[in-house]
Chains A and B, each alone.
Chain A
Amino acid sequence: MAGILIYAEVQKGELKKGAFEITSKAKEFGQEVSACIIGSGAEALAPELAKYGADKIYVVDGPEYENYVTEAFVQAFVQVAQQVQPAIILTSSTAQGKDFTPAIAARLQVGCFSDCVDLSLNGDKIVVKRPMYAGKAYVLAEATATPQIASIRPNSFPINENAGAGAVEKVAVSIDAAKIKTVVKSVEIAESDEPDQTEAEIIVSGGRGMKGPDGFPMIEALAKALGPGSTTGASRAAVDAGWRDHAYQVGQTGKTVSPNLYIACGISGAIQHLAGMGTSKVIVAINKDAEAPIFSKADYGVVDDLFKVVPALTEEVKKIRS
């Protein structure tokens, strides 16, 4: 068993960015990097993956792979893995990856690591770094069996163009349909449909400093620019003033949220509010008042007029994301 096998996730006919990140990272280890793409129209996506270092790309293509079905994908991937016999399997810790990775590990009867933020090689062993206790501790861990499987948190590694051989092999897998006991009826991914505050990765929240309901389209625009997984919130003051529906309220008497990024616009940060968002991974405060308590909790603070900063930030974000 040797080499690294990447599971490259497809969503809406596109490879996910995480696939490029792990391919780029795998390439650094100087081993043969294989990738497996499962999806309807997967074959067409293979060349793109080669750009970032995939030497061999196994494609499981067919209309039946339009939607992710755990059992079918696991069966397909395990057959590829049995063919490739990799020492290391890497996946992305996306919603699908979190479902898929432990399932293939179980099928292969080995362990796996979830949500790793760093990866290094110690001889033929991978050493993963992953957070525990919601990021309050980190562990370095190793596997005791092969293949060693790790899912990598998106955005952990940069994407480097470093072309691999890129040979594409279409694999015909045999799926035991009797074992598939789930049917995906529909998948609803709506770009405009904001996630619930409690599930959102990014929340842009407005408080009394928004001065009125008219300011909120501005933070909605910022949330939209930040992409899916982003939504807006509001402080109790903004909700009480009637500028925002209670469904948006973050805080002691509203929703308790823990997004990766919380952008507080015109929110002073009273304890009632902090109780609801204090566990956010990164907090940004935009407030004219340098004395606002929110700054003591913020990782990044902008002391300025939010009505100027927020639109400018929206434009900058659009630039970065495009």
Chain B
Amino acid sequence: MNTVVCMKQVPDTETLIKVNPEGTGIATEGIKWVMGPYDEFAVEEALQQKEKFKAGTVSIVSLGPDRAIEAIRTGLAMGADSAVHINDSAFYDKADPYATAAVLAAAVKNLEYDIVFLGKQAIDDDSGQVPAILAEMLGIPVITQVLKLEVEADKSKATVTREVEGGHAIIDVTLPAVLSAQKGLNEPRYASLPGIMKAKKKPVDVKTAADLGVDVGAMTVIKEMTLPPARQAGKIIEGETPEEKAANLAKALHEEAKLI
């Protein structure tokens, strides 16, 4: 069972997000970078499948600047075998899903795979588009938001449970395929110390888009990035009686927060 995991280094969910002076992206200083949380599910699932089949490789492909090597090493420490680090500012600066998918597809094509795993979305731009675009570019099917995976012994097919609105669907898919991992797929492992040590010695192939023969422009342009208004101090819902307060709360949730 050979898998490729496309993974992205993202700011830790708790990091303070500030806008850069140009107003087109975030200011990157002081940020704690981690492997994307959904990507962790993807790496874990790839490792579990490899362990189940007792054969094969897990390769990581990641687009990002120099610092992305830390997240790549995390994946290698978890147990992945090798990695391709696409270090090309023309691509990672764009943060464009289409261009990202193009460069990832070019790298993936050079690797052996039965399944290409990704997190369902990177938690920085939250686009969640790369899995589908990548599949299109690789010419293989895609199933997003995967909750469960069972691969048949001959690796020709897999049965996948994916999240759908208000429930889940069970789908048979012909392999190779692109699968994107949703929370609930598994519990990612904590890299062991020997894993961390070994990861330092595992091969990481650094490439540029030119190396991969990719020349794609961005399909989207960020014009302006802003921070949402500072969180409003909470409101105490007023009312004479508990019932009136309940009614006012329901109204606020419906009209202001638009959650009901």
Q: What residues of A have a CB within 8 angstroms of the CB of B96 in the complex? A: 111
Partner pick for B217 among A113, A144, A188, CB 8 A cutoff = A144
- Bound-complex Cα distance A226 to B260 (A): 7
**Cα(A188)–Cα(B231), bound, Å:** 38
Asked if A161 is at the interface (CB within 8 A of a chain B CB), the reply is no
* Residue of A whose beta carbon sits closest to that of B158: A182
Chain A nearest CB: distance from B133 CB in Å? 4
The reply to whether the CB of B226 lies closer than 8 angstroms to some CB of chain A is yes
Decide if B253 touches A112 in the complex (CB within 8 Å).
no
Please encode chain A, from 92 to 116, with 1 for each CB lying within 8 Å of some chain B CB and 0 for all others: 0011101101110111001111110
- Per-residue CB contact flags for chain B residues 89-102 toward chain A (1 = under 8 Å, else 0) read 00000001110010
A121 CB–B CB distance under 8 Å: no
Interface string of B7-46 (1 = CB under 8 A from A): 0000101000101000000100000000000000000000
Interchain CB contact under 8 A, B234 and A299:
yes
Q: Does B184 contact A (CB under 8 A)?
A: yes
Closest to A195 in B: B166
Contacts between the two chains (Cβ within 8 Å), count: 263
* In the complex, residue of chain B having the shortest beta-carbon distance to the beta carbon of A259: B259
At the interface, is chain A mostly helix, strand, loop or mixed? mixed
**B169 → A minimal CB distance (Å):** 4
Asked if A240 lies at the interface with its beta carbon under 8 angstroms from chain B, I say no
- Per a CB cutoff under 8 Å, which of A68, A187, A303, A313 touches B236? A303
Q: Are B167 and A189 in contact (CB under 8 A)?
A: yes
Using a CB–CB cutoff of 8 Å, the interface residues on chain A facing chain B are 11, 16, 67-68, 70-71, 94-96, 98-99, 101-103, 105-107, 110-115, 127, 130-145, 155-156, 181-191, 193, 195-196, 198-199, 202, 226, 228-229, 260-261, 279, 282-285, 295-305, 308-310, 312-313, 315-317, 319-321
Apart from A130-B126, A228-B166, A279-B13, list 9 A-B contacts with CB within 8 A: A106-B137, A184-B171, A188-B169, A228-B165, A261-B259, A298-B234, A301-B237, A302-B237, A313-B250
